[in-house]
């Protein structure tokens, strides 16, 4: 298995011209492919180590521990049996991040203001990671098509586009009504009584920066705004999916999305009490491995791994380096300010509570 993985990585590196982390990755995957699924828990590394020692205690003790064990409904990590919340702290922070990022982006764009830099950068990276996952592809295609139609045809912005004319909607296997309702609720499109689509409040802002400020498709503004709008619907779909999963209405969890935020949550948790932040945030290899075990089989993990490091396309997204000596992954610098903002917001909430 490792041999195949190694060949695949080599081919990807050669064809895309990416030398990033070649040797280090090779070594990492060697270790990684030998590992089984580790125990998951929301404790620190040293606590986990002492926990493992405790597991060696006589069987009688182990059974009584297991009887009282409660698992997080989202990721399966152990949680406090007395906790009134069915999900672990790491997952709670993940959901907090999703909501905070979505609302920050949405509120700015709705008020025709440029969203803060930290939110735009994070949104850009997150959409790069998620845009090719099938859960979001149908939405992304519809949004792209309507944006294109509105740009090339000014009349379409006033008279609307016939829903039946949308190619991306015609060929999707997803529920068409669900897609349109979702985009309508988010303010991306407006639907007229005679089934035509007009740009919603969110899209109007995007179209305006194109027209009024003369930003072209190559401009940073255009890239940031497009990814902000994509991030808004991806994050919203994720929130709805998590709700449906927790209430038992959906059997499958959106594991890839959750894993991205769980990695960020771990970094946030590790730095929550610090007064000085590192120049670049990082996550211990052991924690990274534990979080990736949520993804299940090796194939899914590999797809996720080559995607977030950028081996697949030469664009580093979530992780920009692996420190061999410290055994830790360096987060992409575009998440620096994002992590600090999230920590500050969590502290604010904690202060308000106390």
Q: Per CB under 5 A, does 91 bind Zn ion?
A: yes
Residue closer to Zn ion (CB basis): 119 or 242:
242
Interacting residues with Zn ion between 201 and 230 (CB under 5 A): none
Shortest distance (Å) from residue 91 CB to Zn ion: 3
70 beta partners: 79
Which residue in 5, 9, 29, 72 binds Zn ion (CB under 5 A)? 72
Q: Which residues contact 98 (CB under 8 A, 6 or more apart)?
A: 235, 238, 239, 261
Q: Which residues contact 93 (CB under 8 A, 6 or more apart)?
A: 261, 265, 268, 269, 342, 346
Residue closer to Zn ion (CB basis): 73 or 315:
73
Choose the binding region for Zn ion from 82-90, 237-245, 317-325, 331-339 (rule: CB under 5 A).
Answer: 82-90
CA dist 235 and 257 (Å) reads: 9
CA dist 291 and 308 (Å) reads: 14
Shortest distance (Å) from residue 287 CB to Zn ion: 13
Choose the binding region for Zn ion from 74-82, 168-176, 218-226, 326-334 (rule: CB under 5 A).
Answer: 74-82
Buried b (16+ CB within 10 A) or exposed e, 286-298: ebbbbbbbbbeee
Q: How many CB atoms lie within 10 A of CB 180?
A: 19
Q: Per CB under 5 A, does 122 bind Zn ion?
A: no
Shortest distance (Å) from residue 73 CB to Zn ion: 8
Number of residues that bind Zn ion (CB under 5 A): 6
Q: Per CB under 5 A, does 75 bind Zn ion?
A: yes
- The SS3 assignment for 277 reads coil
Residue closer to Zn ion (CB basis): 288 or 322:
288
Shortest distance (Å) from residue 320 CB to Zn ion: 26
Q: Per CB under 5 A, does 18 bind Zn ion?
A: no
CA dist 335 and 266 (Å) reads: 13
Q: Which residues bind Zn ion (CB under 5 A)?
A: 72, 74-75, 77, 88, 91
């Amino acid at each position: 298995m490792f041999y195949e993985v190694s060949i695949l990585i080599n081919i990807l590196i050669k064809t895309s011209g990416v030398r990033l982390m070649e040797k280090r990755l090779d070594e990492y995957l060697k270790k990684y492919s030998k590992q089984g699924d580790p125990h998951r828990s929301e404790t620190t590394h040293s606590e986990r180590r002492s926990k493992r020692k405790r597991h060696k205690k006589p069987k009688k003790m182990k059974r009584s521990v297991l009887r009282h064990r409660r698992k997080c409904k989202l990721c399966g990590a152990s949680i406090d049996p007395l906790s009134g919340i069915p999900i672990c702290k790491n997952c709670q922070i993940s959901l907090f991040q999703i909501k905070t990022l979505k609302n920050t982006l949405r509120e700015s764009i709705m008020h025709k203001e440029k969203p803060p830099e930290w939110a735009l950068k994070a949104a850009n990276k997150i959409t790069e990671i998620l845009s090719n996952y099938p859960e979001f592809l149908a939405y992304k295609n519809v949004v792209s098509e309507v944006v294109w139609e509105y740009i090339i045809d000014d009349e379409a912005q006033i008279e609307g586009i016939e829903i039946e004319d949308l190619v991306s909607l015609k060929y999707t296997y997803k529920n068409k009504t669900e897609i349109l309702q979702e985009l309508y609720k988010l303010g991306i499109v407006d639907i007229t009584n005679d089934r035509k689509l007009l740009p919603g409040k969110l899209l109007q802002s995007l179209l305006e920066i194109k027209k009024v400020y003369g930003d072209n498709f190559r401009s940073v503004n255009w890239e940031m705004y497009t990814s902000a709008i994509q991030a808004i619907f991806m994050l919203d779909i994720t929130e709805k999916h998590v709700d449906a999963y927790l209430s038992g209405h959906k059997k499958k969890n959106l594991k890839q999305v959750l894993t991205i935020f769980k990695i960020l949550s771990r970094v946030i948790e590790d730095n929550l009490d610090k007064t000085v932040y590192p120049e670049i945030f990082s996550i211990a290899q052991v924690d990274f491995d534990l979080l990736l075990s949520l993804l299940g089989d090796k194939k899914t993990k590999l797809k996720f791994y080559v995607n977030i490091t950028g081996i697949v396309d030469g664009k580093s997204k979530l992780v920009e380096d692996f420190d061999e000596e410290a055994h830790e992954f360096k987060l992409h610098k575009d998440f620096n300010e994002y992590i600090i903002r999230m920590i500050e917001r969590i502290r604010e909430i904690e202060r308000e509570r106390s």
